Amino acid sequence: MKWVPLLILLTLALPPRLFSAEPPAAGSQEDAPVQTKIRITADKLESDHEMKLVEFTGNVVATEDDVVIEADRMKVFYTPGEGESVEAGRIDKIISEGNVKIIFDGATKTASAEKAVYLAQTKVLELSGGEPQVRSGKNVIRGKKITVFQNENRSLVEGDDGAQVEATLFVEEGEGLRK
């Protein structure tokens, strides 16, 4: 995305996908599902196959390609794969809590909050709690709640109880408010 002064809320979007969540395509072998590897490390893992939930606690780090999510706790809700296996076939929702930090685009962009909820099917990420912020280089947006609608290529930053949202932008000389 390019920086366009005064349209800042659209410029600090997260990557096109946080974690792959597309269901496998049906049809010919040309449409065979493409798998991606997500690696999650933590101090403890607890799974509940009935609830279709895996919970990671303590020093959680989830990595897929150049996207890294760090948190104190992460709950991954999934839809089982085909057959009798209890393996995850598709991620439905990820809830990260406690010191959440998301790093992406070769570490040039970061997001942080106390809580992050990612809805994989709609590709919506909601950051809340603490002081949510998204950084891209020197540019920063802050608010009480930041929602990124990845499919729509837009973001919504909200304040709360009179608190305003804040954006700090660094633009080329002569390209800002004064020309």
For residue 5, being part of any structural domain is answered with no
pLDDT at position 20 is 47
For residue 159, being part of any structural domain is answered with yes
pLDDT at position 176 is 62
For residue 29, being part of any structural domain is answered with no
Domain of 116, CATH number, reads 2.60.450.10
For residue 25, being part of any structural domain is answered with no
- Owning domain of residue 110: 12-18+38-80+91-168
58: left (phi over 0), alpha (psi -120 to 50) or beta: left
Beta strand 44-48 with 124-128 is: unpaired
Mapping DSSP to helix (H, G, I), strand (E, B) and coil, where does residue 150 land?
Answer: helix
pLDDT at position 101 is 97
For residue 7, being part of any structural domain is answered with no
Dihedral of the alpha carbons of 3, 163, 144, 2, in degrees to the nearest 10: 0
pLDDT at position 36 is 77
The whole-number mean pLDDT for each consecutive block of 10 residues of the chain, a chain of 179 residues, reads 29 42 48 74 94 95 92 93 63 96 88 96 95 93 94 91 89 67
pTM of the model: 0.77
For residue 85, being part of any structural domain is answered with no
Domain total for the chain?
1
